[in-house]
Amino acid sequence: MENVTILTHPLLQHKISILRDKNTGTNEFRKLVEEIAMLMGFEALSDLPTEDVEVETPIETCMTPMIAGRKLAIVPILRAGLGMVSGITALVPTAKIGHIGMYRDEVTHEPHEYYCKLPSPIEERLIVVTDPMLATGGSAIDAVDQIKKHGGKNIKFLCIIAAPEGLQRFHEAHPDVQIYVGHLDRQLNENAYICPGLGDAGDRIFGTK
Ligand code: PRP
Ligand code: URA
């Protein structure tokens, strides 16, 4: 699938394995989500444009690259996407942050939007959408629909774990979005949870339930 990158770095896979463990507590879970987001962000932002600027070192003056052009907006899908924001702002502290609130109906598994606030203007920004879980793909598709309605064009999506069904659906709905996946899991179960997955990402990050 064009525009889909499944990451394989051993450090990333190691951290994802600890996340999956049901005995990993909230504190460690949160820290790992942050670290994983930083590693994924490092990879996803490897094509950021740079421009040479003049810098005076203690030895001499030189032309040296700095990040140029498009400004970054990070847009977490609430709640669980919030856990990934600090990992990316650690890389790009000047990024603006938008929020999209989505919850899945427990019976139909359909996403419902309850909040949307994006940095304005959004058109010229590179937008990095974060959500640890891509299950049926419904939340990701609706979130990106919203961002595009507001004028967003250049969009990357970072998820820690994806199900094949949801990844396929999301990619078909938004083929222009560059998708970065920490690990592609086996399948969804009858409750639309990812198997083997890690359970409910929002509950594990925030210690609810
Ligand atoms: C989870 C997850 C995604 C969504 C994925 O959120 O963080 O947003 O489910 O499922 P989908 O691909 O089938 O749409 P949830 O609705 O549980 O809300 P929460 O983050 O507030 O717990
Ligand atoms: N949302 C989650 O948090 N986990 C899943 O496995 C599916 C959706």
For residues 161 and 189, give the distance between their C-alpha atoms in angstroms, rounded to a whole number: 14
What tens digit of pLDDT does each residue of 9-63 get?
999 999 999 999 999 999 999 999 999 999 999 999 999 999 999 999 999 999 9
CA of 139 to the centre of ligand 1 (A): 7
Residue 135, both tokens: 């299950």
Is residue 186 annotated as part of the catalytic site, yes or no? no
Interval 130-151 mean pLDDT: 98
Q: In the beta sheet, which residues pair with residue 112?
A: 103
Q: Is 137 a pocket residue for ligand 2 (Cβ < 6 Å)?
A: no
Instruction: Please tell me the predicted confidence (pLDDT) of residue 64.
Output: 98
Residue 156, both tokens: 């990357």
Helices 138-149/164-173 angle, 10° precision? 20
Q: Is 135 a pocket residue for ligand 1 (Cβ < 6 Å)?
A: yes
Ligand closest to Cα of 77 equals: 1
User: How many CA atoms within 13 Å lie on the side-chain side of 161?
Assistant: 23
User: How many CA atoms within 13 Å lie on the side-chain side of 93?
Assistant: 1
User: What atom in ligand 2 is closest to the CA of residue 192?
Assistant: 7
Phi and psi at 202, nearest 5°, equal -60, -45
On average, the pLDDT of the chain sits at: 97
User: What atom in ligand 1 is closest to the CA of residue 134?
Assistant: 12
**Is a pLDDT exceeding 90 seen at residue 69?**
no
**Are the CB atoms for 110 and 135 separated by under 8 Å?**
no
CA of 184 to the centre of ligand 2 (A): 13
**What's the first-to-final CA gap in the chain, in angstroms?**
36
Q: Is 133 a pocket residue for ligand 2 (Cβ < 6 Å)?
A: yes
Interval 123-137 mean pLDDT: 97
| Residue 188, H or E segment | strand 187-188
In a mutational test of the pocket of ligand 1, which residue from 139, 187, 188, 195 has the highest number of ligand atoms less than 8 Å from its CB?
Answer: 139
Is residue 203 annotated as part of the catalytic site, yes or no? yes
